[in-house]
Amino acid sequence: MCVLFIVRHRAFYQLEPVLSVVGRKVDEVVEHDVKTCPVCVKAKEKITEKQFVSRRKTLLQNKLIEDKIQRHLVCKNSLDLIGELAASLPKPSDDPQEIWRRLLNS
Ligand SMILES: [Zn+2]
């Protein structure tokens, strides 16, 4: 769809001296087609690229979070937690003074 549009972006200002030379009005109303205008096409491409990068980034971050959750579930199951707890408890062969020191400092 074509619309009548006063061109305000850079392409128009680049044309401005040319239009002045041929004696036309500087703020002339020109036909503007968003689909063929190079400035608009380039802006649209930039937006599309940014959206693509943003979507890919979100997907990768979600995958990273999912991997972390899976790793956590594998490493921190209840049996492993009991094992870690048992390993941290004092042994009967430990020095009682050392056991008291650890207990009071924790
Ligand atoms: Zn344009």
Whether 29 maps to a domain, the answer reads no
Whether 5 maps to a domain, the answer reads no
User: What does DSSP assign to residue 3?
Assistant: E
Task: Quote the ligand 1 centre to 60 CA distance (angstroms).
Answer: 34
Query: 84: domain range?
Result: 50-89
Task: Quote the ligand 1 centre to 19 CA distance (angstroms).
Answer: 18
Comparing 62 with 77, which gets the higher pLDDT?
A: 62
User: Sign of dihedral through CA atoms 59, 60, 65, 68?
Assistant: positive
CA-CA distance, 86 to 65, in Å (whole number)?
30
Task: Quote the ligand 1 centre to 20 CA distance (angstroms).
Answer: 21
pLDDT at 18: 54
Whether 60 maps to a domain, the answer reads yes
Task: Quote the ligand 1 centre to 85 CA distance (angstroms).
Answer: 67
Whether 32 maps to a domain, the answer reads no
The pLDDT of 51-72, averaged and rounded, is 97
- Average pLDDT over the chain reads 82
Structure pTM? 0.45
pLDDT tens by residue, 69-105: 999 988 888 888 898 888 888 888 999 999 999 889 8
CA-CA distance, 28 to 35, in Å (whole number)?
20
Task: Quote the ligand 1 centre to 33 CA distance (angstroms).
Answer: 7
Tally of domains within the chain: 1
Whether 65 maps to a domain, the answer reads yes
**Half-sphere exposure at residue 88, Cβ-oriented, CA atoms within 13 angstroms:** 9
Q: How many residues are present in the chain?
A: 106
